Amino acid sequence: MRRVKVLTVVWCCLVGWMWGQSSLSSPKLVVGINVDGLNTDYLSLFWHELSDGGFKRLTAEGTHCESFDYGYQYAGQATDLATLYTGTLPYLHGIAGDTYFDRKHAKSITITQDTKVHSFGLEVPHSAHRLQATTFADELNEDSQGRAQIVSIAIDPTAAVLQVGHSGLALWLDKQTGRWTTSSYYDTALPSWAGKTADDYLHKRWEPLHLSALYYAAAKAKSKSFMYDLDKFCYGSSKYEQFATTPFANEMVADLAMETFQSYAMGKDLQTDLLLLQFSLQPLYNQSAGLLTLELEDAYLRLDKQLAVLLDFLDKRFGKNEVLVFLTNTRKMPLTKPYNERIPSKSFCTYRYMALLNSYLMAHYGSYNWVQGSWNGNVYLNRQLINEQNKDLRQVQQTAVDFFSTIPGVMNVSTSYQLNAAFVGAQRLRYAFHANSSGDLLFSLLPGWYEVDKNEKPTGFVAHYNGVGKLYLWGWKIPATTIKQTIEATDFAPTLAKWLGVSLPNASQGTYMPIALP
């Protein structure tokens, strides 16, 4: 018995030593940053204006993946974030767009909206209940048995939720109160340390960081200088939504990140902790997307400055070799009319074509409302009616395709049955498709075409086929190099899991990125 006890003690010590060695080989902290609206072409234009400690430091000291391919037509930042953190495609993770079409009430709602939980603010509550796969954060939480500190911070609730998934804490800005909030899905109460509000920033004045004459936009785009007192610029019932489009919203995110480090003592033990942030470089609410303005350029410079402060803080507090930082951007391209009028660019009024499609189906199946709605390239048929009228759904879908494929501006259109079969055969699709949330028909527009509503106002749905984003890695064991070959976005989560020694997300399809670590 004595010998058994001695062997047991030795075994426990050995296991403890091995666990410690494994943990010591992993970074103490992982910081993930997503920048909504980041156009890397603009980074090139503004390169001489950037600090040495922000994007330049990321590029010089870390790994830059020039071609980060999502593999499907852009369907919204929610879809890309879910793909990035689950390591799988929309068909499996369930997030096929920024919105979810509620067939029961025939309306679109935010994909993360969840009425079964409650919010600690005035806005509708959010959760990851429609995310069908685990994220990297979920697996880190499972493998650490809840010991890892996991926090996601974003102005936008959808980003805050889908970055982290089902575990940890997600915090976002309540656009009605200007306060940080979360839902009962993530915590029983709002943390006391998340007390800063947008009102704490509204006393500030926004003007160019440098002489306006030194800005690229001033010289090339003939953009004029500006000066905004935020308490006057952001006003009325939508003042916090307006505030969210200014660089001070990014400052608010950065300040809360610093509070998180302190409050959770992140990176202080052997267990790797995870902090996920989202910043925005989308244009001001009163400015057109796609236009280079002095304000937009200044927002880039301010974010670069905040990034430099963050990297310097992490280096000094934890040591560069103990922290892994990654930065990605969303792929959304702004809608812009070409300067040359001869370049094809036409509007596509889905509202009008839905009425024509319904008339076409009425001629075949009777005078009923066969079309329930349309959103972001999805057409939803009235499945309850089809069932009540004893019609074959697949046949009705095909009849709709026969009409829709003849509409000017439509490049491709497929039924849900066809897309299901295609994924089973090829394990990937050019559409962001999920059987439970996508429409009965999915269509794409010809290059240059863009969707408008019944008032001829652009909806944001355009012909966008570029599947490529960017990825920057810095710190820990990351080598200083540029990867020019295409990297699959689904490879990121498995690679991160491998580096940290945790299980792969449960629907992961990716392999490992070709980055040789020492």
CATH number assigned to the domain comprising residue 324: 3.40.720.10
Angle at 374 between CA 38 and CA 349, to 5 degrees: 80
**Cα dist from 231 to 174, 235, 406, 409, 516, whole Å:** 18, 7, 51, 44, 50
Residue 259's Cα: distance from chain center in Å?
23
176 and 298 share a domain?
A: yes
Residue-level length of the chain:
518
> Same structural domain for residues 390 and 473?
no
Mean pLDDT in order along the chain per 10 residues (518 residues): 47 41 72 92 91 95 92 89 96 94 90 95 94 97 96 97 97 96 95 93 94 85 83 93 96 96 92 96 80 91 97 95 94 65 82 94 96 92 96 96 93 93 85 92 90 84 73 96 92 95 94 90
Query: Is residue 87 in a domain?
Result: no
Residues 56, 35: Cα–Cα separation, whole Å: 16
Query: Which H helix or E strand runs over 348?
Result: strand 346-349
**What residue type is 23 in one-letter code?**
S
Q: What is the Cα–Cα distance from 85 to 250, expressed in whole angstroms? A: 22
Domain that holds residue 403: 346-462
Would 92 be classed as within a structural domain?
Answer: no
pLDDT at 41: 86
145 and 274 co-located in one domain: yes
Which of 270, 257, 254, 267 has its CA nearest to residue 320?
A: 267
- Whether 397 and 251 map to the same domain: the answer is no
Q: Which residues are bridge partners to 329 per DSSP?
A: 35
Q: Which of 117, 150, 111 is nearest to 131 (CA)?
A: 111
DSSP H helices, 76-176, are: 77-86, 90-93, 136-143, 157-164
**Burial code of 391-419, b = ≥16 C-beta within 10 A, e = fewer?**
beeeebbebbbebbeebebbeebbbbebb
For residues 149 and 190, state if they share a domain.
yes
- Nearest-angstrom CA–CA distance, 117 and 184: 6
Domain for residue 318, yes or no?
yes
pLDDT score recorded for residue 11? 45
In a domain, 180, yes or no: yes
Residues 226 and 305 in one domain: yes
| Same structural domain, 218 and 180 | yes
What pLDDT, on a 0 to 100 scale, did the predictor assign at position 6? 44
| 366 and 254, same domain (yes or no) | no
Q: Give the integer Cα–Cα distance in Å for 133 and 148.
A: 20
Answer for the pair 283, 245: CB distance below 8 angstroms, yes or no.
yes
- Asked if residues 12 and 305 have their Cβ atoms less than 8 Å apart, the reply is no
In-domain check, residue 501:
no
- Count of domains observed in the chain: 2
Question: Do 289 and 170 belong to one domain?
Answer: yes
Q: CA 433, 101, 123: angle at the middle one, nearest 5?
A: 120
Q: Which residues contact 248 (CB under 8 A, 6 or more apart)?
A: 201, 204, 206, 230
DSSP-based three-state secondary structure for 119 = strand
d(CA 58, CA 314): 13
CA pair distance 507, 166, nearest whole angstrom: 14
In angstroms, how far is the first alpha carbon of the chain from the final one? 45
Do 182 and 157 belong together in one domain? Answer: yes
CA distance 122 to 110: 16
Is 83 contained in some domain? no
- pLDDT value of residue 334: 58
Q: How far apart are CA 360 and CA 354, in angstroms?
A: 10
303: its two tokens = 């974010």
**Residue 315 confidence (pLDDT):** 96
* 207 and 326 part of one domain: yes
* Structure confidence at residue 24 (pLDDT): 43
Helix H or strand E segment including 242? helix 239-243
Contact 361, 400 (CB under 8 A): yes
According to DSSP H, which parts of 322-477 are helical? 350-365, 383-388, 393-404, 416-426
Between CA 121 and CA 179 the distance in angstroms is 8
Q: Which helix (H) or strand (E) holds 147?
A: none
Q: How many CA atoms lie less than 13 Å away from 290 in the CB half-sphere?
A: 9
Domain of 391, CATH number, reads: 3.30.1360.150
Q: Are residues 326 and 366 in the same domain?
A: no
The amino acid occupying position 155 is: I
With 0-12 CB in 10 A as exposed, 13-18 as middle and 19+ as buried, what is 309? middle
* Element housing 41 (H / E): helix 40-45
Q: Which residues contact 145 (CB under 8 A, 6 or more apart)?
A: none
Answer whether residue 77 is part of any domain: no
Grouping H, G, I as helix, E, B as strand and the rest as coil, residue 410 is strand
Any domain includes 493: no
